[in-house]
A and B are shown apart, each in its own frame.
Chain A
């Protein structure tokens, strides 16, 4: 996130803390897709993800007094989203995940019609493989690869040391590659 956007966020948070709901609405609009995207890929359920995204913003509103600018609003929101998603997974007690194509009916920003068949196949394989790895691996990969969080931000969101971030990312990638190899039948090492 650029410093400019972080400054806009900080300004809106300050106004929201003072009771300005319009400022909070701006924050919601600016971050809703990011929160939804992360939760949706964690849970693989659109309606649940949409409901939980709203919960995240309600929790964020309630926790606004505790927010500190050095945390970064987007990172802080993802931390709330991550906790909410894990709670939901615990509630569902999911061990094996359903294939993602059942829930992937969200409009995407990619140019659908012109996307090649092979590219779509790769995306579906990746989505499917993501649902088959452990939640702790899935979350770190989504936060790193999709949301682009730096190692320090990952450590803060996940509540682990930066060294652990490095090793967990490596294990998560290995697990995901293994799932992809299993699915495609390719040889591995």
Chain B
């Protein structure tokens, strides 16, 4: 293109049919005698035609039921507790999606298992306190005696130093 040639912008607008009648006729007249502008116009029109020939992509499925289901899902918690809890729900939903079985591997099953394990361990400590050291009313202390400085079976250095008064080790 030389200095008298129109800018690319004008040729682009010509392809879009976005020029006024006068500007359009002037540009067409110039392009008829200017090989560079003529070639550029041919390129731009070919590009326009190539876009028109692109396949019209289609989803081939109805998205409406999915969208409505999502709207319903989002509406339920929003009505009760406000929109600020949306992200934890999304997190839970992601975890749920990642798990294979909804019941076996769901976060609820994990929480139930953790509570059950805690109860079982606590029960063991109470039982331990009842059998190993009857005078000790505090079950936690009784259980902690496992980790005392004197190993089981050792003699006490002095009377009353180990366990309750009257007991012997």
Contact = CB atoms under 8 A, between A and B. Distances in A.
Question: Is A bound to B?
Answer: yes
B50 A122 contact: yes
A29 interface: yes
Given A169-B16, A173-B12, A54 B59 contact: no
Q: Name the prevailing secondary structure of the B interface residues.
A: helix
Nearest to A142: B51
A73 interface: no
A144 B47 contact: no
Contacts of A26: 64
Contacts, number: 116
Interface residues of B, number: 37
B68 A24 contact: yes
B43 interface: yes
Q: Name the prevailing secondary structure of the A interface residues.
A: helix
Given A37-B56, A108-B58, A189 B16 contact: no
B84 to A, nearest CB: 15
A57 B66 CA distance: 10
B35 to A, nearest CB: 11
Interface in A130-179: 141, 144-146, 151, 166-167, 169-170, 173-174, 176-177
Given A144-B16, A146-B51, A109 B56 contact: yes
Interface in B92-136: none
A53 interface: yes
Interface residues of A, number: 44
A2 interface: no
Interface string A30-54: 0011001100110000000010011
A122 B63 contact: no
Q: Which of A50, A151, A170, A189 has the most CB of B within 10 A?
A: A170
